[in-house]
Amino acid sequence: MTISPPRIGGLDVQGWGDPEDPVVLMIGPPERLSPGWRQWVRAMVEAGRHVLIAPVLEPGEEAAALRGLLIDISSRPAILCSAETLARVAPALVVTGPALASCLIVVGDTPGEAAAILDNLPLLTLDPAALHEPGETDEAAILGFLERQAPREALYYQSGSDPRTLRDALGCFATGVTVVTTLDETGQPVGLTANSFSSVSLDPPLILFCLARSSSNLERFQRAEHFAINVLHIGQQPMSGAFARSTAERFDGVAWETWETGAPILSGSLASFECATHQVVEAGDHLVFIGRVTRARFEPRRDPLLYFRGRYRRLHFA
C-alpha cells in the first residue's frame, strides 16, 4: 500500500493504494464502521481501488469542506460511511448536474432525510450487527457492489507493450497449485511448485505442466522418463512455498511415498497423478511436458489451494 498526498481539497486525509485507481472515500473514524475495516481497506486496494479516509468534520462545516474534497478528487468516488455520518454529509452531495459520488455504502439504516436527498445514488446498506467480527462476507458484498456501480476501466495489452500488463492479465485466471516431482539420474527426488497444470485428454489420459527454460531443474525433467503432479489442498500452502524456493532441501520434513515409477508422491495431497513422459514441446520461454497418466489418487473432501492475481486464495462455497 502506498500513502497518498496528506491534503486534498483542503482536508487532511489518509490514503492507500494507487492514486490512479478509482477512489473509495471513507468518512469518519473507520473503527466505528467495523472491527474489520483494515481488511476492507486491504481488500479494496487489492481489487484496484484507491482508498481515502477523511476525518469527521465539525458541525456546520461538513457540506462546504466535503464538497471541496469531492470536487478536488479526479473521479467520482464511492463513499463509505456510517448512517450517522451520512446524515451529516448528505447535503454536500447535492449539486446541480452530475452527482459528486458514484455510489454509497452505508453501515446502518440510512436516515430518511438523507435517503430522500440521495434518492438517485446506488446504495448498499450493511447491517452493523453482522460486523462485530472481521469477516469476508462483508468484503465480498462491498467489492461486488463497487464492481457493479463503479467499475474499473479495463487495462489493455498489445503486442510489444509492457509484459507486466500481460502477466497481470494472465493472473486473472484462477488456478490450483501443484508440486511437480521426479527423480534425477542419481535417484534423488526433485520437485518444484507450478500452477501451469492442465488436463489434455481423457483417451488417452494425458495431462501437462509447463516449465521455464530458466529453471535449474529443466534438464532433470527433460531426462526423466516419469514424473508426478501433486495437487495441493489449503492445508499444504507452506509446502507450496517450500517447493517454490531455490533450495536443495525442498523435501526436508515432507512426507512422501512412491508408487510404480519411483516419482515422489506427496502424502495427503488433494490429488496425485503418476505419469510417463509422453511428449516435450518447445513453446517460447517454456517447455510443455505432456504426461500419460498411469495412476491417480484423490481426496474429494479437502478444499483446494488456489492462486489468483499473485496470491494464494481460498475457495468459498455458496
Instruction: Say if residue 95's pLDDT is above 70.
Output: no
CATH topology of domain 7-149: Rossmann fold (3.40.50)
Q: At 34, is the pLDDT very low, low, confident or very high (cuts 50, 70, 90)?
A: confident
Sheet of 271-283, strands arranged across: 189-194, 178-183, 226-231, 271-283, 286-298, 205-212, 197-202
Q: At 135, is the pLDDT very low, low, confident or very high (cuts 50, 70, 90)?
A: low
Instruction: Say if residue 295's pLDDT is above 70.
Output: yes
Instruction: Say if residue 37's pLDDT is above 50.
Output: yes
Is 44 or 83 the better-scoring residue by pLDDT?
Answer: 44
3-state secondary structure 39-91: HHHHHHHHCCCEEEEECCCCCCCHHHHHHHHHHHCCCCCEEEEEHHHHHHHHH
Query: How far lies 95's CA from each of 26, 58, 114, 122, 313, in Å?
Result: 20, 21, 14, 16, 42
- 175-313 CATH choice from 1.10.10.10, 3.40.190.10, 2.60.40.10, 2.30.110.10: 2.30.110.10
The answer to whether the CB of 255 falls within 8 A of the CB of 266 is yes
Q: At 14, is the pLDDT very low, low, confident or very high (cuts 50, 70, 90)?
A: confident
DSSP string, 185-216: TTS-EEEEEE--EEEEEETTEEEEEEEETT-T
DSSP H helix total and E strand total for the chain? 8, 20
Model confidence pLDDT, tens digit, residues 202-225: 999 999 999 999 999 999 999 999
Structural domain spans, the chain: 7-149, 175-313
Q: How far apart are CA 292 and CA 273, in angstroms?
A: 9
Give pTM, 2 decimals: 0.64
The answer to whether the CB of 90 falls within 8 A of the CB of 119 is no
DSSP H/E element including 129: none
Asked if domains 7-149 and 175-313 share a fold, the reply is no
Instruction: Say if residue 189's pLDDT is above 60.
Output: yes
Sheet of 175-176, strands arranged across: 175-176, 306-308, 311-313
Model confidence pLDDT, tens digit, residues 248-276: 688 988 999 999 999 999 999 999 999 99
Q: What's the angle, vertex CA 69, arms to CA 65 and CA 75, rounded to 5?
A: 155
Q: How far apart are CA 50 and CA 177, in angstroms?
A: 30
Q: How far apart are CA 111 and CA 131, in angstroms?
A: 19
Determine phi and psi for 175, rounding to 5 degrees.
-130, 165
Q: At 183, is the pLDDT very low, low, confident or very high (cuts 50, 70, 90)?
A: very high
Q: How far apart are CA 285 and CA 141, in angstroms?
A: 40
The mean pLDDT value of the chain amounts to: 84
How much is the pLDDT for 1? 37
How much is the pLDDT for 195? 93
Residue type, 23: V
Residue type, 184: D
